[in-house]
Amino acid sequence: MSSERCPKIEAGQILNPGCFPPPNELVCIQVPKVFDQVALRDCISRTVVLKKGGEICHPVFTYEGATDFNIVEVKVISKTDSLTRPGYKKLKLFVKLRYRIHYSDGVEQLEQVDEAAFNITVNEIYCPNCIAQVGAAKTCDNFWTSPKKKKKRDAEGTLIKVEALAEAFNDVLNQATGMLTLDIGVFFIVKCECVVQLLMPSYGYCPVPPEQVVTHAQNCKTFNDRRKTPFPDKFFPDQKWNPLDKKREYSEE
């Protein structure tokens, strides 16, 4: 069979989906499912007094840009059920972004941290209450509750997730005093998620990638010898067989 009929199965974009064979298993995965999402934008003006770096007497400030925008806080201020559409809600959120201002005082290259706070309203989003509650023995941080993900989990088990793309513009700077005024514009996507189990077609585990060629030191000769210690071809246990797979039962008989 030609290579065109048996494409290599690995992660990446699919240009010709019809060239791939049917999946070889059905798997249950536990993920935060996005029930609905809403896109909106907001913009606020910030006034920041830039600080000089050293003992310079007459600084001449120059604004160079704002970078490293990060969501540092998300609060659900209120959540109101729709009177006409079951499962739909109106949300009022508080979102705080932190970013770095890069500038010069005429002598040193400096940076200063500032924060911008937004009060945003989502008029309508499908956000049903989760039925099952997730509980597990803690061996590591669950990826859906990590504070770095900036999600707010409420009492009903739903997750309100906020994503943002921010940019600073319309900057005006007083070079003598360091008073900087700029606008912070943000594109928001607000998502309502719930941790669920989904039954998904699968091609199995992702294959182990080719080992990178590295020039090793002279220690650990046995381990670094690829002929004596080959790289493992799998990192995960075998998937259990589906009891509905009649073909396997017949083959065993």
Q: Give tens-digit pLDDT for 163-177.
A: 999 999 999 999 999
Residue labelled with tokens 């160079």: 64
Q: Where are the domains of the chain?
A: 30-133+145-200
Which position has the higher pLDDT, 144 or 129?
A: 129
Does the pLDDT at position 144 exceed 80? no
Beta strands, E only, the chain: 25-49, 62-81, 88-104, 109-126, 151-153, 159-173, 179-202
Torsions phi, psi for 16 (to 5 deg): -130, 80
Which position has the higher pLDDT, 6 or 84?
A: 84
Q: Give the pLDDT of residue 150.
A: 53
Q: In the chain, what is the greatest distance between 2 CA atoms, to the nearest angstrom? A: 91
Please state the rounded mean pLDDT for residues 218-245.
78
What distance in Å separates the CA atoms of residue 105 and residue 178, rounded to the nearest whole number?
A: 8
